[in-house]
Amino acid sequence: MIGAWAAALCFVLAPFNAMAQQPARSGTPPASSSTSSEEHSTATANPAKATLADMAWLEGRWRGEWGTRIAEQVWTGPKAGVMTGVFRVVENEKALVIELFTIVEKPEGLNFYIRHFTPELVAWEKSEPTVLNLASLDAKKVDFENPMNGLPKHAILLRVDADTYTARSELMPEKGEPQVTEITYQRQKPVVEKPSPVKKK
């Protein structure tokens, strides 16, 4: 049975089935995630050895265009064993979904927690957040895997350069075709506030 997470996500993705989703191809990585021998040499052999320092590059503001929709993320840096993130999708000045993320460092490795909300912060997941465990990590790719179900099965971050990455979500529902969604994000520079004008006495 597809849970609230998948049902809500399907609602958000519905107009983009042909454009933003495509059937997953078993055993065939996307072109942007191809690895060279050099990348294999830098891979984390044991994900349990990964720390939040390996994810520090995510800190900051990110923006991606998703058809007519805008996807935005804001991540804090590693501190006290956790990173926090906020995500929203906006279309025609309307917020469609809010997501809260945490990446938590534990003795066995990194866990990625996801929870979805309406703009009024009504949780879509009525019981508990989705949890994904770090499956692999290297300089170009981070792969979190859901051991419980396929909604999503994988959340993958593909680093293009210091200011660009692609978020890839792979859903594997109990019924129906596997679906893949990708959004490419660009790092946003901090907004420099203009100094207040000096009032003349």
Per-residue pLDDT of the chain (201 residues; tens, 9 = 90+): 223 334 344 434 433 332 333 333 333 333 333 333 333 334 555 787 899 999 999 999 999 998 899 999 999 999 999 999 999 999 999 999 999 999 999 999 999 999 999 999 999 887 888 999 999 999 999 999 999 988 899 999 999 999 999 999 999 988 889 999 999 999 999 877 777 777 766
The two counts, helices (H) then strands (E), for the chain are: 2, 11
- Give pLDDT, residue 201: 64
Positive or negative: CA dihedral 82, 64, 160, 14 = positive
Residues present in the chain in total: 201
**Domain spans of the chain, in order of start:** 4-20+38-188
Answer yes or no: CATH 3.30.460.80 is held by domain 4-20+38-188.
Answer: no
- Give pLDDT, residue 196: 75
- Give pLDDT, residue 15: 34
Most distant CA atoms of the chain, gap in Å: 72
- Give pLDDT, residue 195: 79
**Which residues, in sequence order, are CB contacts of 92 under 8 Å at separation 6+?**
68
